[in-house]
Amino acid sequence: MVIIPFWRRKIYPPGHLLGGYKVIRLMGEGRFGICYLVDLDGKQYIIKEIKPKTIKKSGEKIIFEEKILSNIDHPSIPKLVNTIKDDNMYAYILEYKSGKTIEDMIFGDNHIFTSDEIYKIGIKLIDIIKYLHERNIVHRDIRVPNVIINEDAVCLIDFGLARLANNERYRMSEDFLYFGHLLLHLYYTSFKKTNRKSQPWYYELELTEKEMMFLKRLIGIEERYNSIIDIECDFFEIFKANCE
């Protein structure tokens, strides 16, 4: 169930036309935009309407998502198809990626991720991050609601916080931190609490020494990783060892 904040000016119902696209349903809401599943000539898309208060508050910052998506071509990232800019709406038309978010799988389906699934999701996310970092892009929001799973396909969505890295305010290491926390969400799906008192994850989870160090470096408890290439190498070695 989607909860609509009381201050919302308008929610477009199924059948409503937005720039020629027919609304199928409301998909959800992020910090900066409201997303609808829409149809045009029998093909489905996502319309992400930027919130008026975001436009007023952020000004030119809202164009970052449009600029970044316009220069990205990766099968695991929704393509920017078009934009709607008029007095009533500022919105992006995005390629629709079917599937479920990791958030829905964990908290809606109570899905327990196996070691094999964690590896397959992790290695594909690393590939996406590597693609972005090679283009000097830092996503800054790699969280469970922004990763879609559809069988073997893994997609990263919502580039509202994405920026060009500058090693000052916008650093590649932000993505490493988010990636580490996302992996912890996956690991915790198989965790069974044995006592009432909560403990830090590095005490609660049953991890190998290499897994433990890998996650600590991602999150910054130990010496941080310098590049996604180093992360890719260590991640592969950890799961290769786990399968032996």
Q: Using one digit for the tens of pLDDT, what is the confidence trace for 142-186?
A: 999 999 999 999 999 999 899 999 978 899 999 999 999 999 999
Question: Could you tell me the residue range of the domain that residue 83 belongs to?
Answer: 17-95
Last-in-domain residue among 31, 63, 95: 95
Per-residue confidence at 54, pLDDT binned at 50, 70, 90?
low
Q: Are residues 85 and 107 in the same domain?
A: no
**182 assigned to some structural domain:** yes
Q: Is the domain of 153 the same as that of 125?
A: yes
Shared domain for 205 and 178, answered yes or no, is: yes
| Domain presence at residue 4 | no
Domain count, the chain: 2
pLDDT at residue 2 in the model:
42
Residue 8 lies in a domain: no
- Examine the domain organization and report whether 182 and 167 are in the same domain: yes
- Tell me: pLDDT of 58 over 70: no
> Residue 45 belongs to a domain with what CATH number?
3.30.200.20
SS3 per-residue string spanning the chain: CCCCCCCCCCCCCCCCEECCEEEEEEEEECCCEEEEEEEECCEEEEEEEECHHHHHHHHHHHHHHHHHHHCCCCCCCCCEEEEEECCCCEEEEEECCCCEEHHHHHHHCCCCCCHHHHHHHHHHHHHHHHHHHHCCEECCCCCHHHEEEECCEEEECCCCCCEECCCCCCCCHHHHHHHHHHHHHHHHCCCCCCCCCCCCHHHHCCCCHHHHHHHHHHHCCCCCCCCHHHHHHHHHHHHHHHHC
- pLDDT of 244 > 70? The answer is no
pTM score of the predicted model? 0.89
- 84 and 170: one domain? no
Q: What is the CATH number of the domain that holds 217?
A: 1.10.510.10
Q: Are residues 39 and 114 both part of a single domain?
A: no
Q: Which residues are tagged catalytic?
A: 141
Are both 91 and 120 inside the same structural domain?
no
Tell me whether residue 159 is in a domain.
yes
- Same domain? 78 vs 119: no
Residue 5 lies inside a defined structural domain of this protein = no
Whether residues 166 and 68 share a domain: the answer is no
In a domain, residue 57? The reply is yes
Q: What's residue 75's pLDDT?
A: 96
Is residue 62 over pLDDT 70? no
